[in-house]
Amino acid sequence: MKTRTFRFLSVATLALSALSAGAPALAHDGYFHGNGYYGRPYFVYPGQRVVIVRPPVFVPRPVFVYRPAPVYYAPAPVYYAAPAPVYYPAPAPVYYAQPWGTIGGAIAGAAIGGAVGDGRPGAIAAGSVIGAVIGSGLSR
């Protein structure tokens, strides 16, 4: 026997043995019914279906018993007559500082900080804060 024929027969034997070993995996219990050209084929399992239905279980409703609310006795409230009104002198007026000093000081500080610091943003911000603090102190 030639080597080529031997190789072909050994490969065919291996393929046939692999197919026969895998055949039980392709088995099923039902019959194969195809749907022609429409839909997927499906399997039909002959015999009856067994359906187990458990009987319903009836449980009595729980009974809630409420106790009556406790009763507390207290003496009747005592009412007194309102005291006579006392007229106090009117409170002194309260004056709040206006924010214009703070705003003006911030503007002036920003202008001075920009001129002294050659337009650097840090100098402008520092001048604005210092000017606002000084301006709020002067407006009091």
pLDDT digits (tens, 9 = 90+) for 9-52: 888 988 888 877 776 656 655 555 555 556 566 555 666 777 88
88, part of any domain:
no
Whether residue 133 is contained in a domain is answered as: yes
The fraction of the chain above a pLDDT of 90, given in percent, is 1
Structure tokens at 64: 């809630």
Model pLDDT, residue 83: 80
Total structural domains within the chain: 2
Cβ burial of 54 (10 Å; 0-12, 13-18, 19+) is exposed
In a domain, 33, yes or no: yes
Residue 121 lies in a domain: yes
Provide, rounded to the nearest whole percent, the portion of the chain with pLDDT above 70. 79
Last residue of a domain, one of 44, 59, 75: 44
Q: Does 31 reside within a domain?
A: yes
Give the structural domain span for 18. 3-44
Residue 129 included in any domain = yes
Residue bearing the bigger pLDDT, 59 or 27 = 59
91 located within any domain: no
Give the distance, in angstroms, between the CA of residue 85 and the centroid of all CA atoms in the same chain. 58
For residue 89, is it within any domain? no
